[in-house]
Amino acid sequence: MHISTPAGLDRKESEIYSRLDGERLPRHIAIIMDGNGRWARQRHLPRIAGHRAGVASVRSTVETAARIHLPALTLYAFSSENWKKRPASEVDFLMRLLRRYLKAEVPTLNKNNIRLEYIGRRNELPEAVQERMEWARQATAKNTGMVLTLALNYGARMELVDAFTAIVHAAANNGGLRHLKIDEELIDRHLYTRHLPDPDLVIRTSGEMRLSNFLLWQVAYAEIYVTPTHWPEFRGRHLLEAIAEYQTRERRYGGLGNGNGAQP
Ligand code: FPP
């Protein structure tokens, strides 16, 4: 069923939104923002121009997501591998861009009732970045609308290593390993994403059909949507198009689909 168009959507967004089932929105969308470098290269610009342009895409996507009352949006901004595989000058630029983004964006996040969170090994980031992150988190902590989670120095395998380590340490300090019973719920509670439902939809821009070590545990049943659009060209309307496609998919969670009989 369709419910009334939320305030603030532009004409194109409203048109796409009118085709959505407002009661079957995903609860959590996770985005692999890719293609900044390719976008820049196509324009004979330095890679950092692509990252700079990518900030406008972040802004548009976050605002549209909040306007349609998406409960949670997670953006893969910086993987744990990015450190090793990119020139130091590019990493420095990304860190400066992030600091600037956080400072500039807090008023807009507050205006849209968005709470900011992070996943990833924060303590390995530069001190000044960590301080700005904590400042922005606290400045938005009272908001009750969408949770915007930035994955920074994030890797899914690293997250699982950290979760298992925390589980074993907690057990060792609390009666020993003999009584430790590991189940899925216990692992969930020790992931960086313990504040979030699992993503229903993963979007990857720029055409690559990979998960690149992003939320591997959490996306077990997520729908994956890959668009050829490079991240700097991605806008709120593309988010809505992804949701429209998601709503055409039939999610089975290992069971039989609606169109199926009971036969194996
Ligand atoms: C991938 O493009 C993008 C990144 C590694 C960085 C993402 C950063 C931003 C979108 C801007 C800042 C983010 C925030 C949250 C303020 P790529 O460089 O891997 O592109 P390529 O694969 O075409 O080279």
pLDDT per residue over 171-224, tens digit each?
999 888 888 999 999 999 999 999 999 999 999 999 999 999 999 999 999 999
Q: Is 144 inside a domain boundary?
A: yes
Q: Is 257 inside a domain boundary?
A: no
- Residue 251's pLDDT is 73
- Ligand 1 binding pocket mutation candidate from 32, 36, 234 (most atoms within 8 A of CB): 36
Range of the domain at 211: 61-225+233-246
CB of 101 within 6 A of ligand 1: the answer is yes
CA 112 to chain centroid, in Å, comes to 17
Look up residue 48 and give its two tokens: 């950092």
DSSP states of 42-89: HTT--HHHHHHHHHHHHHHHHHHHHHTT-SEEEEEEEETTHHHHS-HH
Look up residue 108 and give its two tokens: 């807009």
Q: Is 182 inside a domain boundary?
A: yes
Helix (H, G, I), strand (E, B) or coil at 194: coil
Nearest atom of ligand 1 to the alpha carbon of 76? 7
Say how many Å lie between the CA of residue 9 and the centre of ligand 1. Answer: 25
Active site residue 198: no
Say how many Å lie between the CA of residue 232 and the centre of ligand 1. Answer: 9
Catalytic option among 34, 112, 198, 200: 34
Domain count, the chain: 1
Q: In what order do the strands lie in the sheet with 28-32?
A: 115-119, 147-154, 72-79, 28-32, 201-205, 223-227
CA 207 to chain centroid, in Å, comes to 17
Find the CATH number of the domain harbouring 126. 3.40.1180.10
Helix (H, G, I), strand (E, B) or coil at 97: helix
- Residue 85's pLDDT is 87
- Ligand 1 binding pocket mutation candidate from 229, 231, 234 (most atoms within 8 A of CB): 231
Q: Is 212 inside a domain boundary?
A: yes
- Residue pLDDT, tens place only, 220-247: 999 999 999 999 999 999 999 999 999 9
Paired sense of beta strands 201-205 and 115-119, if any? unpaired
